[in-house]
Structure 1
Amino acid sequence: MRSAKGTAPGSRQHVDHLVHLGVPAVDIDPDPETMRARGAFARPGFERAAAPLDTRWDRAMLLHRFA
């Protein structure tokens, strides 16, 4: 299932809250073909952790953000 359009701003706030609570790292796996999502998560500090990969559900690219 793909994320609904426009979810990144709420996700950023949620991740900021988790980091504030002391969570050391957060990982996400957007579709590697969705440049808009990759860009939206790059702004709040997510970095590419691995090359795109095939999962049993779809292609994904692991991004992470460390506190």
Structure 2
Amino acid sequence: MIDARTNHNPDKARELIEAAILSCNPPTQIELAARMGITRQHLFHMSRGSRVMAYEFQVMLEGIIAE
């Protein structure tokens, strides 16, 4: 099991979101937000740093990038 205490890095939110958007078809924030089950606004705020990226979202983004 991955330990969130050592692997969680909220500072990587913008980088992960940008990479995950490129993995979507079509490559948009709207498509990525739909795949993650969140609003586009929530995704936007995470990418800008006004909301902290939860560990679960980091795992989701890394999974989408790995697809």
Structure of higher RCO (CA pairs closer than 8 Å, 6+ residues apart): 2
Calculate the TM-score normalised by the size of structure 2. Answer: 0.30
Larger helix share, 1 or 2: 2
Q: Indicate the structure (1 or 2) with the bigger Cα radius of gyration.
A: 1
Calculate the TM-score normalised by the size of structure 1. Answer: 0.30
